[in-house]
């Protein structure tokens, strides 16, 4: 009897360790919120549709965490660096008068070019500050956002689609309807499950997210990707094996920056507008929280962690707002709830970081 009880306890602990305590807690909490929403009369199809849409919009930004974590530099708190590259590319595509899918294609192409250059420089910076990557990354993201506030005002863009009505500089919010870019991916091959009032599937947006996931998954099974992961697990052993740690860290952060640049373009078209100035400032934190909720740690991450984490995290945020408004009329606890969960998960993950190896 004692042996059977010990085996059950051991199996239960193994299940918790396999899923991850944060993932389990947040997942159960999300299910409770969904059930509560159904009891309160909130449309479940609307909640599921919004969850899928937000997961598709945020997915690539969360995926950008995988290369940096695998390389040993930790979660990419400098995600605004990549985001700014994507915003700059979108602005230039508008300035060049591209429309619709032409605007989208030029934006993606320019974003990749900008992100490769900036990501290389950022990777060199991280190699110079080994041991303090997450701290430096956070302030790098803040600094680039502040610097670009000046750039958005000073660069002499001429397009009337994004400039202020009086004076110079770009507007804080640029409507993408003006270039037929709003929901250009979200509406591509879109369909409903369960009729007109059923669950909406934004096929085009999900396809590009899954395509990016497959590319990252395949890359980390290639020789170069395995070398990056090996350097992240045990830098000293990898270096003794002839692996160029610094070069691989730069590769990983270039890839992370490119994903951030592509991700903000997908994100912006999903909302129908793009936001400049201080909008990118805090965007790294929800992405970090999502990948950690999915089961990643500050030193190991997989594409599966991205898929699970972005679905649970965005589902929780989508469900919390209407449920909180129903339960506590006249108040808005959803933003408080988001901040508690988001920063709590990041704090929990950072407490699990083990020193050594560098």
- Strand segments, DSSP code E, in the chain are 173-175, 191-193, 199-201, 273-275
Asked whether the predicted pLDDT for residue 356 surpasses 50, the reply is no
pLDDT greater at residue 23 or residue 104: 104
- In this prediction, residues 194-223 reach a mean pLDDT of 90
Q: What is the pTM of this model?
A: 0.89
Q: Are 350 and 298 in contact (CB under 8 A)?
A: yes
Asked whether the predicted pLDDT for residue 6 surpasses 60, the reply is no
pLDDT tens readout for residues 287-312: 988 888 888 887 888 899 999 989 98
* Amino acid 357: pLDDT: 39
Residue 224: strand, helix, or coil? helix
Asked whether the predicted pLDDT for residue 177 surpasses 80, the reply is yes
- Please state, in angstroms and as integers, the Cα–Cα distance from residue 241 to each residue in 230, 231, 234, 236, 358, following that order: 10, 10, 11, 9, 15
* Amino acid 68: pLDDT: 92
pLDDT greater at residue 275 or residue 358: 275
| DSSP conformational letter for 153 | H
Nearest alpha carbon to residue 148 among 98, 96, 91: 91
* Amino acid 358: pLDDT: 40
Asked whether the predicted pLDDT for residue 11 surpasses 70, the reply is no
82/17 Cα distance (integer angstroms): 33
- In this prediction, residues 81-97 reach a mean pLDDT of 93
288/284 Cα distance (integer angstroms): 6
* Amino acid 24: pLDDT: 81
Q: Among 51-60, 131-140, 328-337, which range has the highest average pLDDT?
A: 51-60
């Amino acid at each position: 009897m004692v042996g059977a009880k010990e085996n059950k306890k051991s199996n239960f602990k193994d299940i918790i360790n396999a899923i991850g305590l944060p993932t389990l807690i947040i997942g159960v909490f999300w299910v409770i919120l969904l059930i509560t929403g159904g009891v309160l009369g909130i449309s479940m199809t609307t909640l599921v549709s919004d969850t899928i849409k937000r997961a598709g919009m945020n997915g690539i930004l969360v995926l950008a965490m995988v290369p940096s974590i695998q390389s040993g530099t930790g979660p990419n708190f400098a995600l605004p660096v990549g985001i700014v590259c994507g915003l700059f590319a979108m602005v230039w595509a508008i300035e060049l008068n591209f429309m619709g899918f032409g605007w989208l294609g030029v934006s993606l192409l320019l974003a990749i070019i900008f992100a490769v250059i900036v990501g290389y420089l950022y990777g060199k910076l991280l190699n110079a500050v080994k041991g303090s990557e997450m701290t430096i990354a956070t302030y790098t993201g803040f600094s680039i956002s502040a610097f670009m506030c000046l750039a958005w005002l000073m660069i002499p863009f001429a397009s009337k689609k994004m400039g202020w009505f009086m004076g110079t500089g770009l507007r804080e919010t640029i409507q993408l309807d003006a270039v037929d870019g709003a929901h250009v991916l979200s509406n591509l091959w879109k369909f409903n499950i369960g009729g007109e009032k059923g669950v909406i599937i934004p096929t085009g947006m999900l396809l590009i997210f899954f395509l990016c996931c497959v590319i990252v998954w395949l890359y980390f099974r290639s020789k170069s990707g395995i070398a990056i992961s090996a350097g992240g697990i045990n830098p000293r052993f990898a270096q003794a094996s002839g692996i160029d740690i610094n070069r691989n860290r730069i590769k990983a952060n270039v890839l992370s920056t490119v994903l951030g640049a592509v991700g903000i373009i997908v994100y912006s078209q999903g909302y129908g507008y793009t936001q400049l100035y201080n909008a990118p400032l805090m965007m790294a934190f929800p992405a970090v929280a999502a990948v950690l909720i999915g089961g990643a740690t500050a030193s190991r991450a997989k594409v599966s962690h991205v898929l699970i984490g972005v679905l649970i995290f965005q589902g929780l945020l989508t469900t919390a707002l209407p449920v909180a408004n129903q339960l506590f009329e006249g108040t808005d606890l959803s933003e408080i709830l988001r901040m508690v969960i988001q920063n709590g998960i990041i704090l929990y993950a950072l407490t699990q970081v083990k020193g050594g190896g560098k």
